[in-house]
Amino acid sequence: MNRLLELQKLGQSIWYDNIHRHLLHSGELERMIKDDGLGGVTTNPTIFEKAIGGGDAYDKPIKTLLNAHPGLSDQSLFDALAVDDVQHAADLFKEAYEHSRHVDGMVSIEVSPELAYDTDATVSEARRLFQAVKRPNCMIKVPATREGLTAIETLTSEGINVNATLLFSVKRYRDVAESYILGLEKRLRRGQSLEGITSVASFFVSRVDTKIDGLLQARLEQAGEGQQAEIRMLLGRIAIANAKMAYQAYLEIFATERFAHLQSAGARPQRLLWGSTGTKNPAYSDTLYIDKLIGPHTVNTIPPATYQAFKDHGHPRRTLDTAVDEARRQLAALAALNIDLDAVTGTLEEEGVRQFADSYHQVIGVIGEKRRRLGLS
């Protein structure tokens, strides 16, 4: 039994949270599409940093680009390498894209996180990237900051596929879904087609537990024996509970008459995508954030180690819409401990933007170092 294929029978698409030249050119990605039903790829600056800095696979492409265009900046070199990788991956997913009627087969590329708090610059860069990749199954990742919400609306209205990323709170997810719907409505008012526009909202999971567990451990040290058991019951549970509430919001938002009107004109719901699904705490199951978030009309983008772990010993059964009342009780118990989940998710958003910006600077530095080592500076 291929457990990844079993997930798809339950209505969940599996995407791969990774990209590198060997994956693209060795036949490995093609095999994953064929054997595992892989439905897409997501990228971010951290992934590209590891890919480009992790060996010599990009040395030859860098030489080729610089021989043809000696004046290219390090930033432009990175841009060219990333666009080429995304184009190649998108071509490999073309059949999946067409077979799924443009729901899957998507490949994401991220707007520079340096622009996360600048709406106009984000829109401009997203347009440029979408035009540079020139593939209908390209999806532009836009950080879902407050400034990013307007960008998501504008880009959707222009027919650009958007992956709204770095979502941690249910409230911000609702904001993102509203931006998507507003964009579709704007497009429809202009008499433009809604057919083929694909969007996901990337809701990050494991980072929530990492942050909340630290706060719960601090409460444990202060609690009496009677309360300690209750606190321990919340460890490793809040991220799943939070995600389940986001899914309940999804079910509500896309079942309204308002969206039904758009759907009749060819729109499709903006699926929730579970991101940050690798388990960071070794005390927890290495497939925790897949096992507990399986449900229809969703996507899970999975990092390599977790992908292999689930394929080996994951538990493919529908869990996303079970124990919902228990999830609500867990969130209420967290609030009773005076732990503010909204404050935590706000901090996680800021940290996420900063982390990706740091990775972006680092990959530019890696390219500069390779350039010097290759005698092409």
- Gap between the Cα atoms of 56 and 94, Å rounded: 28
- The neighbouring-strand residues paired with 110 are 141
The 3-state DSSP class for residue 23 equals: helix
Given a contact cutoff of 8 angstroms between Cβ atoms, the answer to whether 179 and 153 are in contact is: yes
Count CA atoms closer than 13 A to 316's CA, side-chain side: 22
Residue of 9, 134, 141, 311 marked active site: 141
CA atoms within 13 A on the CB side of 152: 33
d(CA 145, CA 164): 9
User: Is 141 a known active-site residue?
Assistant: yes
Q: How far is CA 12 from CA 137, 252, 296, in A?
A: 18, 18, 5
163 vs 157: CA distance, rounded Å: 14
How many angstroms separate the CA atoms of 77 and 81, rounded? 6
Distance CA 106, CA 112 (A): 19
List active site positions. 141
